[in-house]
Amino acid sequence: MINKKNIIVVLLGLLFLFGCSSEKEISTTEKVIPAKRLIKKLEGNRRKIKTFEGTGTIHIKSEKFTGKTSFKILIKKPDSIKISIYGPFGIDIAHGLFSKNKFMFYDVLKNRVITGQNSKDVLKKMFKIDLSFEELIDAFAGAVNLTEKLRTEPTDYEVLDDIYNLTYVNKKENKKNIYRITKDDLKITEYRVLSLSGKELLSGDYSKFKKYEDVPVPLSLLIRNKSKRQSIKIDYKKIKVNENLKTLKINLPSDVKIIKW
Q: Label the pairing between strands 230-241 and 257-260.
A: unpaired
Fold of 35-260: outer membrane lipoprotein receptor (LolB), chain A (2.50.20)
Q: What pLDDT, in 10s, does the model give residues 86-118?
A: 998 889 999 999 988 899 999 999 999 999 988
pLDDT one-digit tens code per residue, 223-257: 998 888 889 999 999 999 999 987 789 999 999 99
What pTM did the predictor assign? 0.81
Q: Which amino acid is at 8?
A: I
d(CA 58, CA 96): 15
Taking 70 as the pLDDT cut, the residues of the chain under it are 1-31, 128-129
Residue 168's SS3 state is strand
Q: Do 222 and 233 form a contact (C-beta atoms < 8 A)?
A: yes
